[in-house]
Chain A
């Protein structure tokens, strides 16, 4: 079955710098790759997603890139701000039912 690995488990960056989180997946048939942000004590919230027919997607300071050949996708956050501090999860699914396999999460710390 599908397996998703996420790195790093913790990432500390200076405010204003960029942050990159990477995920790899095992099933080449996976076609939907969302990223969720979980703030302390809250449930995860979708921040961006990408489908297999697209290589990159941007939304203001966040972007996701997908390399289908290498089976990995990455979340890029530019000009980081204190409110970006959270745990970020990647996930992958195949088929139309959107059953997600989740990465283990990355705790992003923004240093002032």
Chain B
């Protein structure tokens, strides 16, 4: 089955520690995204990537870092500089640049990070 896999589903960390959230897709999508979801708020874009070895900051990139060394993988690191890291993190991907590019985002099931 094609899809997006995020891991871990739940993660607890102490304040001041960096954590890395994994996102893998086997949909052969070029574009990948990281969103943060907080209660009562819409999804906010952290980073996105449209091609391997290239990525752009979203609206709330401060305190986060990403890499895109492979088309299938787009890990997100939540650094100790992120002031309020407790949140639900969603990874997504989509087709771009072809006739199949409808704008539809395909999401993983999310990772819930709690900083103690």
Contact = CB atoms under 8 A, between A and B. Distances in A.
Say whether A and B bind each other. yes
Interface string B78-97: 00000000000010101000
Interface residues of A, number: 24
A49 B103 contact: yes
Given A43-B90, A49-B103, A102-B44, 5 more contacts: A43-B4, A49-B104, A101-B42, A105-B40, A105-B41
Nearest to A89: B42
Interface of A is mostly: strand
A102 B107 contact: no
Interface residues of B, number: 19
Interface of B: 4, 40-45, 90, 92, 94, 101-105, 107-110
B40 A43 contact: no
Interface string A56-90: 00000000000000000000000000000000010
Interface of A: 4, 6, 9, 32, 34, 36, 41-46, 49, 89, 91, 93, 98-105
A94 B16 CA distance: 38
Q: Which 9 A-B pairs have the closest CB atoms?
A: A43-B107, A102-B42, A98-B103, A102-B43, A46-B104, A104-B42, A103-B42, A44-B107, A43-B109
